[in-house]
A and B are shown apart, each in its own frame.
Chain A
Amino acid sequence: MNTMPPKRMVKLAFKNLGQYKLRAGLTMLGIVFGVCSVVAMLSVGEGANREIQEKIQRMGSQNILIKSVKVPKDESTSGGRQSMLASYGLTYEDARQFSQFVPNLVASTPMKILRYDVQYKARKLQTDVVATVPWFLRVQHYRMVRGRFLAGSDMEFGSPVCVIGSRLARILFAGCDPIGRTLNIDRDAYTVVGIVGDIAQGELPVEGELWLGGENQNVYIPLRTYLNKRGDLFAQWSQGGGVFEKIELHEVILSIDKQENVERAVDAVRRILRKNHKQEDYSIVVPLELIRQARETRRLFNVVLGSIAAISLIVGGIGIMNIMLATVSERTREIGIRRALGATRRDIVLQFLMETLILSLSGGTVGLAIGAVIPLMITATTNVKTVLTFPSFAVAFGVSVTVSVIFGIYPARRAALMDPIEALRHE
């Protein structure tokens, strides 16, 4: 049995579609919107997902973050009057026990994080001062911009040196090179030895957030130096008078050798803290668990996006079916003529399917093009991160073409199964 060669079928389909330019255009529009909204949606979803993943990844999937948390004062004991000394949070003893009892521990990074006025010449700024140890840099995966980070010798000698965030460098030193210059933290003088790079936006998106997101404007100093100069007491002046806070460590990051050992280590940490603390003046953040939660959230997100996408594509498909049904019924006579002149049922099915296919392929292509531009515009205008991935293109395009063809089969079959004589008589 002979059948029309594909090339000629395509030509014929274009000719036929040419009769209904407006209608074909409107049908395509349905697919265009379907595909481009799917691509855009998936890119926004993927962008959000990547952002979360990155944030968590930076905290380190092998790390356990333990933070001091201020417990709200019990009203009955303080009797409405604030006591002068607030003492809470992680202690050196906690840190010592972590090092001794937490299994598979590779590094323990203690931190004191305090807010101070930082001043260079006339410029002054209140910011977070992080007193920590040299391996902090490695644990946090920060990038040095210039100079060096805190060194072992700084700790040993309690040297008055500091490393500053890139933003702080820009604000305080505006133009001149900060390395080797001396700035004041509160009343103490420190020499700048290095500049450390940006912190990812929204860094540490967890409860008790200590650092502002965005660019790095922290100051890093050796823990030893700070303790020598200031000790553990921190005075906070407010309207009602002064309050002394005693916090030995604000945060400890424990790095475990392998991901699979993190859970056991967390158990050990919990046990130690429960034993040492009467109240829960600490919080434990396990990035690995956050990653798992993020994956779970992502799965849900994908299901929701997928459903919306499916609906919009099905609507596009129904549009195609609608148009093709109208076209078939308008062209009943033509179908009869073609059958009388030798077209088989298959020829007729293929003819109409080809028209559907051309509509959906061209609609899908335009949809992909627009769908690729929309995320760029979103990112450019709203700062929302978007990611275009090949699978999202493939899914949007593939699904739309498949849906269209499936919805196109019914009208095409209806055309082919028509009785040729009836079709010929059709006005």
Chain B
Amino acid sequence: MTVPIVELRNAVKEYASGALRVTALRGIDLRIDPGEYAVVMGASGSGKSTLLNLLGCLDHLSAGDYLLGGENISRFSDDQLSDIRSRRIGFIFQSYNLIPQLNVLENIEVPLFYQGVSEKAAAERAVVLAERMGLADRLRHKPMELSGGQQQRVAIARSLVCDPILMLADEPTGNLDSRTGHEILELIDELHAEGKTIVMVTHDDAIAHRAQRVVRFLDGEIVSNDWNGAEKP
């Protein structure tokens, strides 16, 4: 049996803001195997981003367990989670989240810096990825000088730079026009074809068709878990 990339067991996430308690995830179980491409759908406020942040080790579970690549990281320290984020997770955000004062190459290199990869090796790797994303003539440009689609390409290159085992994308096309969005989705398809494990949040049904699998959320619970193609054993 293959070791799943993601395994959530009875995962609960509660937010306590003052006297108010919001339960964003109500004890969900989720398993994602290597090479899977899963799309998370659901109404606004249903807990999709909460799930992605947890998978991305940006937040702690309130209860339950999270196994990443077979390792239970539910009770990892902040430093350990930082290390996992830099080595094993690739994040793609709706609003790109590039660092404005850094140019394209420098933005792509950021995760490598926190791993202590040498400057030269980091630059080489960043150039390869930037070229692959079609940014060869934009290497020294600042994010402000790029179109939305180009910025998202930089973000994808950055998410790939440390060769993560899990790629997370929170509405990556949300800020893009449909044509540019389409190009980005093609890129993500390509990555999937190469064997990347991808979890993507969207609320566009058309996009959902691209994925093997659609996880539907409602009010912090998974209401359906369909495999588009063949039924999952």
Instruction: Tell whether, in the assembled complex, residue B113 and residue A421 are in contact, meaning their CB atoms are under 8 Å apart.
Output: no
B53 at the interface (CB under 8 A from A): yes
At the interface, yes or no: A79 with Cβ under 8 Å from chain B? Answer: no
Does any Cβ of B come within 8 Å of A4's Cβ?
A: yes
Task: Identify B99's interface contact among A5, A337, A347, A424, CB under 8 A.
Answer: A337
Chain B residues whose CB sits within 8 angstroms of the CB of A346 once the complex forms: 79
Find out whether the CB atom of A18 lies under 8 angstroms from the CB atom of B101. Answer: yes
Q: Are B82 and A339 in contact (CB under 8 A)?
A: yes
- The verdict on A420 contacting chain B, using a C-beta distance below 8 Å, is yes
Question: Distance (Å) between the CB of A197 and the closest chain B CB?
Answer: 66
Interface size range on A against B: 20 to 34
B126 adjacent to chain A (CB < 8 Å): no
B189 in the interface (beta carbon within 8 A): no
Which chain A residues lie closer than 8 Å to B79 at the CB level?
A: 1, 344-346
Residues of A within 8 A of B111 (CB): 341-342
In the complex, whether A15 has a CB less than 8 A from a CB of chain B is yes
A334 within 8 A of B: yes
Contact B114 A341 (CB under 8 A): yes
Chain A residue, CB-CB nearest to B86: A342
Shortest distance between the CB of B73 and any CB in chain A (Å):
14
Contact of A347 among B59, B87, B114 (CB under 8 A): B114
Q: B119 at interface (Cβ–Cβ under 8 A)?
A: yes
Q: In the bound complex, do residue B78 and residue A337 qualify as a contact, i.e. CB atoms below 8 Å apart? A: no
Tell me if A421 and B116 are in contact (CB < 8 A): no
Which A residues from 1 to 54 make CB contacts under 8 A with B?
A: 1-5, 8, 12, 15-16, 18-19
B53 x A421 contact (CB < 8 A): yes
Q: Are A341 and B85 in contact (CB under 8 A)?
A: yes
Beta-carbon contact of B101 and A344 below 8 Å: no
**Which of A1, A12, A334 makes the CB contact (< 8 A) with B83?**
A1
Given contacts A15-B101, A345-B79, contact A338 B110 (CB under 8 A): yes
A343 with B101, Cβ < 8 A, contacts A4-B116, A338-B110, A421-B53 known: no
Is the Cβ of A340 less than 8 Å from the Cβ of B56? yes
A421 touches B59 (CB 8 A): yes
Cβ of A421 and Cβ of B114 under 8 Å apart?
A: no
Q: Do residues A342 and B115 form an inter-chain contact, with CB atoms below 8 A?
A: yes
Q: Which of A379-399 contact B (CB under 8 A)?
A: none
In the bound complex, CA of A339 to CA of B110 (Å): 10
Known contacts A337-B99, A339-B82, A2 near B53 by CB under 8 Å: no
B window 149-196: CB within 8 A of A: 158, 162
Residue B28 CB within 8 A of the other chain: no
**Is B67 engaged at the interface, CB distance under 8 Å to the other chain?**
no
- State the total of A-B contacts with C-beta under 8 angstroms: 78
Cα separation A336 to B83 with both chains bound (whole Å):
15
Residues of B within 8 A of A345 (CB): 78-79, 82
Please, how many angstroms separate the alpha-carbon atoms of A346 and B79 in the complex? Answer: 9
A344 and B113 contact, CB distance less than 8 A? no
CB <8 Å contact, A342 and B59: no
A8 with B97: in contact, given A341-B86, A342-B114, A421-B59 (CB under 8 Å)?
Answer: no
At the interface, yes or no: B91 with Cβ under 8 Å from chain A? Answer: yes
Question: Which B residues from 42 to 67 make CB contacts under 8 A with A?
Answer: 53, 56, 58-59
In the assembled complex, which residues on chain B have CB atoms less than 8 Å from the CB atom of A339? 58, 82, 85
Decide if A2 touches B114 in the complex (CB within 8 Å).
Answer: yes
Closest residue of B by beta carbon distance from A20: B101
Flag if A343 contacts B114 (CB, 8 Å): yes
Tell me how far the C-beta of A220 lies from the nearest C-beta in chain B, rounded to whole angstroms: 76
Assess whether B97 is in contact with A3, with CB atoms less than 8 Å apart: no
Q: Which residues on B sit within 8 Å (CB–CB) of A2?
A: 83, 86, 114-116
Closest CB-CB distance, B68 to chain A, in whole Å?
14
Give chain A residues whose Cβ lies under 8 Å from the Cβ of B99.
Answer: 334, 337-338
Contact A3 B58 (CB under 8 A): no
Main secondary structure of the interface of A (DSSP, over half): helix
Closest beta carbon of chain B to A57's beta carbon, Å: 59
Contact yes or no, A343 B82, CB < 8 A = yes
When distances are taken between beta carbons in the complex, the residues of chain B under 8 Å from A343 are 82, 86, 114
Complex: chain A residue closest to B49, CB-CB: A421
- Cα A240 to Cα B225 in complex, Å, equals 125
Question: For the complex, what is the distance from the CA of A347 to the CA of B115, rounded to whole Å?
Answer: 11
Q: Which residues of B contact A413 (CB under 8 A)?
A: none
- Whether A8 lies near B101 (C-beta < 8 A) is no
Decide: B110 and A341 in contact? CB cutoff 8 A. Answer: yes
Does chain B have a CB within 8 A of A55? no
Which A residues are in CB contact (< 8 Å) with B98?
337
Contact between chains at B158 and A341 (CB < 8 Å):
yes
Query: Across the two chains, which residue of chain A brings its CB closest to B119?
Result: A8
- Chain A residues in 8 Å Cβ range of B59: 421
Tell me whether B114 and A340 are in contact (CB under 8 A). no
Q: Mark A160-199, 1 if CB is under 8 A from B, else 0.
A: 0000000000000000000000000000000000000000
For residue B133, CB closer than 8 A to chain A, the reply is no
- Asked if residues B116 and A342 are in contact (CB atoms below 8 Å), the reply is no
Instruction: Give the residue name and chain of the A residue nearest to B53 (CB).
Output: A421
Q: Is the CB of A342 within 8 A of B85?
A: yes
With A3-B116, A4-B114, A341-B91 as known contacts, state yes or no: A421 contacts B82, CB within 8 Å. no
Please tell me which one of the listed residues A1, A4, A333, A421 contacts residue B97 in the complex, with CB atoms under 8 A apart: A333
Chain A contacts of B91 at CB under 8 A?
Answer: 340-341
CB distance from B3 to the nearest CB of A (A): 23
Identify the closest chain B residue to A427 (Cβ): B95
Chain B residues contacting A5 (CB-CB under 8 Å) are 116
How far does the Cβ of A343 sit from chain B's closest Cβ, in whole Å? 5
Indicate if the CB atoms of B101 and A342 lie closer than 8 Å.
no
CB-defined interface of B84-116 with A at 8 Å, one 1/0 digit per residue? Answer: 011100010100011111100000001101111
Complex alpha-carbon distance, A415 and B113, angstroms: 19
Nearest 10 CB-CB pairings of A with B: A342-B86, A2-B116, A342-B114, A344-B82, A341-B111, A342-B85, A337-B97, A19-B101, A344-B79, A2-B115
Name 6 extra pairs, CB < 8 A, besides A4-B116, A8-B119, A342-B85.
A12-B113, A341-B111, A342-B83, A344-B79, A345-B78, A424-B93
What would 8 A/B residue contacts be, using CB atoms closer than 8 Å? A12-B113, A18-B101, A338-B114, A339-B82, A341-B85, A345-B78, A420-B58, A424-B58
